[in-house]
Amino acid sequence: MFYCSPPSRTTSNTWKAIYKAFICLRDGFAFKLGKKYVSLWFDHWLNAGIVGSLVDYVHISDSNLKVNDLWVNGYWNFNHLMTNLPNDIRNLVTAVPIPSYRRSDDSIIWLSNITRIYNPKSAYLWLLKSYVTLNSDRHWFWIWKLKIPEKVQLMIWQIWHDCLPTNSLHFKQHLTSSSTCYCCNKEEEDILHCLRDCVHVKNVWETLSFVYLGDFWSAEVKVWCQNFILSNATTIFLSAIWWL
């Protein structure tokens, strides 16, 4: 997501070490918009990359536009652009969360920490989870190494093996007449609906400030579970899913 020039042969060992760490950790950072004074085309504010590199050309009359110029009266407005912005890029832009308190500065945040501030412990945990091979026969053994109550370990094991006693599972086992969620009465209650996607559950996660933590709302269940257990928000995350 972020770019840094590779070191040359004459570069110091210190800079080489910094660059090596940068390569390992750069995907753990993201850009958070505040006042939106960054360049629309040439700054790293969109997680998909520099917008100017994603289009065929940038019209000269648009070249000095800031992100703030596209945010009009609380909405993204592309009508005055002379540059052709493809629909898929527009969708990426409109998906960018805009903080309600917009007088703060634009900033880079660390995704693996609920405080969104980088520290070595959260970086270590973030790197650790990348080394857990999801396709290995022993990939779930890390669960039993967690220093948490056994009943919570069992719950995580059930999530990992798709056997958490949700309404969807009970319906497949002919233990209930419907797989619909009892809380919202709208959708099937699978594991992610129960723990993350139900409209009533979303309020819990928003209150706990999990909105900006990586792919919180889009990751599949195993990745979602592992990512936030092996993070600096372990206690809050596990307490929340246990209560839910």
Angle made by CA atoms 48, 71, 78, in degrees to the nearest 5: 75
Indicate whether 224 and 161 sit together in one domain: yes
List Cβ neighbours of 242 (8 Å cut-off, separation of 6 or more): 152, 155
Indicate whether 79 and 131 sit together in one domain: no
Interhelix angle 150-160/234-243, rounded to 10 degrees, is 80
Indicate whether 232 and 133 sit together in one domain: yes
Residue-number span of the structural domain to which 61 is assigned? 13-110
* 2 part of a folded domain: no
Indicate whether 81 and 146 sit together in one domain: no
Residue 195 binned pLDDT confidence (cut-offs 50, 70, 90): very high
Q: For the chain, how many structural domains are there in total? A: 2
Indicate whether 77 and 124 sit together in one domain: no
- pTM across the whole model: 0.48
* Closest by Cα among 24, 211, 21 to 116: 211
Indicate whether 124 and 207 sit together in one domain: yes
Rounded to whole angstroms, what are the CA distances from 242 to 19, 149, 204, 227, 237?
Answer: 40, 11, 12, 16, 9
Residue 31 binned pLDDT confidence (cut-offs 50, 70, 90): low
Q: Decide if pLDDT at 91 tops 80.
A: yes
Indicate whether 136 and 235 sit together in one domain: yes
Q: In terms of pLDDT, which residue wins out, 110 or 136?
A: 110
- Mapping DSSP to helix (H, G, I), strand (E, B) and coil, where does residue 61 land? helix
Q: Decide if pLDDT at 76 tops 90.
A: no
Mean pLDDT of the chain: 79
Write down which residue in 92, 110, 128 finishes a domain. Answer: 110
Q: Decide if pLDDT at 116 tops 60.
A: yes
- Mapping DSSP to helix (H, G, I), strand (E, B) and coil, where does residue 190 land? coil
Residue 97 confidence (pLDDT) = 64
Write down which residue in 110, 129, 151 finishes a domain. Answer: 110
Indicate whether 88 and 168 sit together in one domain: no
